[in-house]
Amino acid sequence: MFPYLFGLWFGVHTLDESLRMLTDPIMLMTAYGCSAIGWGIYAAMPPMVASYLAASSQRRVNNLKAAQKKLVEDWGDEVSKKG
């Protein structure tokens, strides 16, 4: 969208030019295409972040279980008993 925006800002910036741009099918397809890409990114990000956080949490759990197993091997079963 920057070429169209800069053309309007730094070129002929009249109402007639802006209306001509609004009726240009290529400019409209570009605007709606960029908007669709933006919405696609907006819709895709939450599941991607959630899966990353889930994998990160699972990796942390696995590391803590490995550390606990090592402690049990070093200190005996009494370390893992509750209460």
Write out pLDDT tens, residues 8-63. 888 888 888 888 888 999 999 999 999 999 999 999 999 999 999 999 999 999 99
Place of tokens 């895709």: 44
pLDDT of amino acid 79: 75
Of 20, 45, 36, 16, nearest to 4 by C-alpha is 20
- pTM listed for this prediction: 0.60
What pLDDT is recorded for position 8?
Answer: 82
Q: What's the confidence (pLDDT) of residue 34?
A: 93
What is residue 83's predicted lDDT score, i.e. its pLDDT?
A: 58
Scored b (16 or more CB within 10 A) or e, 23-52 reads: eeeebeeeeeeeeeeeeeeeeeeeeeeeee
In this structure, which long-range contacts are made by residues 30-34, counting pairs with CB atoms below 8 Å and at least 24 apart in sequence? 30/1, 30/4, 31/1, 31/4, 34/1
